[in-house]
Amino acid sequence: MIKIEFKNLPSKETPIDDENLNTMQDNIEQHHYHLELESDTADNSQIELPSYYKVGADVLEVYFVGDLLKKDEHYTEVGETGSLSNKIQIKEWGDTIESGSYFDFVIQGTFEAPTTTETNGEGASGNEQT
């Protein structure tokens, strides 16, 4: 999420223009995704999300079978702070996550997929739920 710090008139640093209005709209939008595991998944595995999010921006909520997971306790975001990613890494839960289990993801804002060279040719897949 990008925070816009508006200034009172007569300042022209933060005008009400299309760029700032579009940024505000992107920040408001929520996208919901569902991912069902097709195979058993081991502890400390990376999970590929159906969409991208901005690492370290607190725009991602992760649910496992309906329970909200805590970042850095149950999972970590994969990538450099400020970069776009479509992966998380599950922490050590002490057991294999069984096939058929599911994750739900809520992403605040809209983040475009990086170019092919930035992702080494990997792309996102999945179903968006609105």
Summarised one tens digit per residue, pLDDT across range 53-79 is 999 999 999 999 999 999 999 999 999
Contact 125, 53 (CB under 8 A): no
pLDDT at 130: 39
pLDDT of 45 higher than 50: yes
Asked whether the predicted pLDDT for residue 35 surpasses 50, the reply is yes
Q: Does residue 118 register a pLDDT over 70?
A: no
The answer on pLDDT for 106 being more than 70 is: yes
State whether residue 2 is helix, strand or coil: coil
**Among 61, 47, 27, 44, which residue's Cα sits nearest to residue 101?**
47
